[in-house]
């Protein structure tokens, strides 16, 4: 089954980082967050990806094309251009990637629509995720849930983290507790999604993906797979700092060995 990774956005709230590279290439623990997302899927056996490129898409292509040269020690003959690996104790990733330019200004819903012809006729379903969020979600269980529900689409329901510290006060207005960016009880779409190919009929040019999801809701064709474990998106500089700190101390999304 193919997994579409939406990787075309600029990431305006990370402009100092994304002025020179696309948001999915912002590094967490020395690797792009895109790599972390792909490792999650690959751990569960889903290693075929379609990367929907847009803003500075060539940066993503170059990263994967040159990955071997980045992780290996090698010698180079500058006259012939030939290289020879001289240290290869690092195992390369087993990713099968299709890179598709879906336009710099294209909205996410249309990006998905433009990839219709890249989903094989033999595949009944395909997955979609954003290029800026990680989780310890069990992808196999997500797929099983989707097939059991037999709806056109399934999204993941996760608990977001408040961007602000929250106060708890008593009836007299005295602060009893202060929580720094707590996890909220409500749920949001965690971005780990799976759809039947009929979903393409619900997508429209020039739209965000939310509009097509609302169409599924109106037809009672959208299920939610509730995930109570770890989830973290990367929208701001504090998010980047949080994820880098977690990578050093307790990378909960690191389901692979």
Residue 255 lies inside a defined structural domain of this protein: no
What pLDDT, on a 0 to 100 scale, did the predictor assign at position 253? 98
What does the pLDDT look like over 90-106, one tens digit per residue? 777 899 999 999 999 99
Domain, as residue range, for 73: 2-249
* Average pLDDT of the segment spanning 241-248: 96
Instruction: Give 7's Cβ-side CA count (13 Å radius).
Output: 31
Comparing 20-29, 167-176, 183-192, which segment has the lowest mean pLDDT?
Answer: 167-176
Number of domain units in the chain: 1
Q: Is residue 168 part of a domain?
A: yes
Give the mean pLDDT of 149-158: 98
Inside any domain, residue 254: no
- Reported as a pLDDT band with limits 50, 70 and 90, residue 67 is confident
Asked if the structure places residue 130 within a domain, the reply is yes
Mean pLDDT of 220-238: 95
Tell me the pLDDT of the chain averaged across its residues.
Answer: 93
pLDDT class of 169 with cuts at 50, 70, 90: confident
Task: Report the C-alpha gap between 73 and 82 in whole angstroms.
Answer: 14
**Is position 245 within any domain?**
yes
Residue 92 confidence (pLDDT): 78
Report if residue 106 sits inside a domain. yes
pLDDT beyond 90 at 185: no
For the cut 70, the answer to whether the pLDDT of residue 251 exceeds it is yes
What is the band of 174 on the pLDDT scale with cuts at 50, 70, 90? confident
Cα-Cα-Cα-Cα torsion 244, 7, 223, 204, nearest 10 degrees, comes to 160
Question: What is the dihedral angle through the alpha carbons of 207, 98, 139, 28, rounded to the nearest 10 degrees?
Answer: -90
User: Residue 33 belongs to a domain with what CATH number?
Assistant: 3.90.550.10
Within-domain flag for 151: yes
pLDDT tens digits along 3-57: 999 999 877 778 778 888 999 999 999 999 999 999 999 999 999 999 999 999 9
- Whether residue 87 is predicted with pLDDT greater than 70 in this model: the reply is no
Please state, in angstroms and rounded to a whole number, the distance separating the CA atoms of residues 16 and 211.
30
Does residue 207 fall inside a structural domain?
Answer: yes
Which one-letter DSSP state was computed for residue 201? G
Average pLDDT on 69-80 reads 85
Measured CA to CA in angstroms, residue 63 lies from 21, 56, 58, 85, 140 at distances of 11, 12, 9, 18, 28
* Residue 231 banded pLDDT, cuts 50, 70, 90: very high
Q: Between 151 and 12, where is the model more confident?
A: 151
Local structure of residue 161 (DSSP, 8 states) = B
């Amino acid at each position: 089954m193919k997994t579409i990774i939406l990787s075309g956005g600029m990431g305006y709230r990370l402009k100092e980082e994304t002025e020179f590279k696309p948001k999915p290439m912002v590094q967490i623990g020395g690797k792009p967050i895109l790599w972390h997302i792909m490792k999650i899927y690959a751990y569960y056996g889903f290693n075929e990806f379609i990367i929907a490129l847009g803003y500075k898409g060539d940066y993503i292509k170059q990263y994967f094309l040159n990955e071997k040269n980045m992780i290996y020690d090698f010698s180079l003959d500058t006259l012939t251009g030939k290289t020879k690996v001289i240290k290869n104790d690092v195992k390369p990733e087993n990713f099968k990637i299709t890179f598709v330019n879906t336009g710099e200004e294209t909205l996410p819903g249309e990006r998905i629509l433009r990839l219709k012809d890249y989903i094989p006729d033999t595949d009944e379903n395909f997955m979609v995720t954003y290029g800026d969020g990680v989780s310890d979600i069990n992808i196999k269980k997500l797929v099983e849930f989707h097939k059991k529900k037999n709806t056109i689409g399934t999204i993941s329901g996760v608990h977001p983290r408040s961007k602000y510290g929250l106060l708890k006060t008593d009836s007299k207005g005295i602060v009893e507790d202060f929580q720094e960016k707590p996890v909220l009880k409500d749920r949001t779409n965690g971005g780990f999604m799976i759809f039947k190919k009929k979903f393409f009929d619900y997508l429209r040019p020039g739209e965000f993906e939310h509009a097509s999801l609302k169409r599924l809701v109106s037809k009672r064709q959208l299920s939610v797979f509730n995930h109570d474990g770890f989830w973290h998106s990367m929208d701001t500089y504090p998010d980047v700092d949080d994820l880098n700190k977690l990578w050093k101390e307790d990378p909960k999304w690191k389901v692979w060995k």
